[in-house]
Amino acid sequence: MSPVEKHDDTIVREFTRQAEGFADPRRNSAFTAQLGRLVRFLEPELDLEDVVLEVAAGTALVSRAIAGRVRHATALDLTPAMLAEGKRAADASGVTNMTFTRGDATGLPYLDRSFTLVVTRFSMHQVRDPEAVVREMVRVARPGAAIVVADIVRPSSGAGDPDRIERLRDPSHASLRTEAEIAAMLAEAGAEVRRAERFDVVRPLDPWLAFTGTSGETSAEVRKDLEAELAGGAPTGMRPALVDGVLHFTHAHAFIQAIAG
């Protein structure tokens, strides 16, 4: 198996396990908490005539949230179990203008210039080749269409390697990019970056580890490293904090909007 096939295999294995968590409102709050904020960021782009593509859509939380405000939304993902969960939820809520497609974001099965809004969330840090994904998103966007990339990003300052901890928790994690790197990918692919929004989210450690089913041994290792940093030890890149005595860490988020040329 090539390294590319191996990474995709790990992705499908991890997200087949995680699909159940995405379906559980008590567990998936990390994926729904910032959704309203992203919908507000998308608002200036939304039009009832829009033909939307959500790339690496998972359970299509983003496109399901805007489906009522556009003509049609296509959700594409590599993991069938995530798509199945998204379709089940869309059916249950009476949505009828969506299509769920299994596919690879690095080689989208669509014609050039076929969508009026192209969006992806929490995929840049996950996919093996984010540059190829961004190139494909720009290729399938109609000239003048918005392309929106929303993700956790590597903070531009601060010591430590957050990818090490992220990968311990989720072996399918690839690599965090900075906001500037993602903006450069969009520009390189021929889109013009126009708007961005950035914010930090401080999250409790335990539910984050539980969501991916991280083993007790690995969870203990992560906890130990974050506690050591709080005690003055080596930086982990996760910016730990104690909130009411509970161990938390910090994710930097960025929403970036660009216009296809």
Tell me how far apart the alpha carbons of residues 38 and 197 are, in angstroms, rounded to a whole number. Answer: 9
Backbone angles phi, psi at 56, to 5 degrees: 50, 50
Per DSSP bridges, beta strands 141-153 and 246-260 are antiparallel
Whether residue 135 contacts residue 189, with contact meaning beta carbons closer than 8 Å, is answered with yes
Q: Which residues bind ligand SAM (CB under 6 A)?
A: 11, 15, 31, 56-58, 61, 77-79, 82, 104-106, 121-123, 126-127
Q: Return the number of the residue (14 or 45) whose C-beta is nearest ligand SAM.
A: 14
Q: Return the number of the residue (19 or 229) whose C-beta is nearest ligand SAM.
A: 19
Q: Return the number of the residue (83 or 222) whose C-beta is nearest ligand SAM.
A: 83
Least separation, in Å, of the C-beta of 106 and ligand SAM? 5
User: How crowded is residue 224: how many other Cβ atoms within 10 Å of its Cβ?
Assistant: 11
Q: Return the number of the residue (129 or 227) whose C-beta is nearest ligand SAM.
A: 129
Least separation, in Å, of the C-beta of 173 and ligand SAM? 9
Tell me how far apart the alpha carbons of residues 104 and 195 are, in angstroms, rounded to a whole number. Answer: 27
Least separation, in Å, of the C-beta of 233 and ligand SAM? 29
* Residue type (1 letter), 47: D
Least separation, in Å, of the C-beta of 113 and ligand SAM? 21
Least separation, in Å, of the C-beta of 48 and ligand SAM? 24
Q: Return the number of the residue (104 or 229) whose C-beta is nearest ligand SAM.
A: 104
Exposure of 1 by Cβ count < 10 A (0-12 exposed, 13-18 middle, 19+ buried)? exposed
Whether residue 107 contacts residue 41, with contact meaning beta carbons closer than 8 Å, is answered with no
Tell me how far apart the alpha carbons of residues 172 and 183 are, in angstroms, rounded to a whole number. Answer: 23
Residue nearest to ligand SAM (CB): 58
